[in-house]
Amino acid sequence: MLDAQKLGEQAHFRIDDIERSLTSVHAAIKPEVIAALVQGVVSTLEIKMQGETERLLKAVREDVTTDQEIIKELRELVAVLKAPITRTSTIELPTGPVSMTVTEHRGIA
């Protein structure tokens, strides 16, 4: 008989425990609680997105600066390549030295 009484007490204890769990679950699914949770998640995501956006903007600014430096260097190279080059060559022949001067113009637009 004691065993049946103990089993009955354990069953009632478990039923009460399950009832308390269900009550806490019911309290957690109230619209106000869900709204607060969603707002917290949205705020966290917004902060993360803002940080990522700032990081990407910084990277883009650095790329633009690098691109501008490369463009400047390319313009300097093109200016050098567009400048005419004069070459003089001298050769010794039996009749005496012969010199030839050539000026090259590159057709780079």
8-27, pLDDT tens digit by residue?
A: 778 777 888 888 777 777 66
Cα 21 from Cα 17, distance rounded (Å): 6
- Convert the pLDDT of each residue in 52-85 to its tens digit: 999 999 999 999 999 999 999 999 998 888 888 8
- The yes-or-no verdict on residue 103 having pLDDT over 70 is yes
Strand blocks (E) in the chain: 85-93, 96-104
- Burial of 58 from C-beta contacts in 10 A (0-12 / 13-18 / 19+): exposed
Taking alpha carbons only, the member of 55, 106, 70, 66 closest to residue 85 is: 106
- The yes-or-no verdict on residue 109 having pLDDT over 70 is no
- Convert the pLDDT of each residue in 22-52 to its tens digit: 777 766 677 787 788 889 889 999 999 999 9
pTM for this prediction: 0.44
What region does 22 belong to: left with phi over 0, alpha with psi -120 to 50, or beta?
alpha
- The yes-or-no verdict on residue 92 having pLDDT over 60 is yes
Taking alpha carbons only, the member of 44, 67, 43, 47 closest to residue 55 is: 47
The residues spanned by each domain of the chain are 2-104
Taking alpha carbons only, the member of 58, 78, 81, 59 closest to residue 70 is: 78
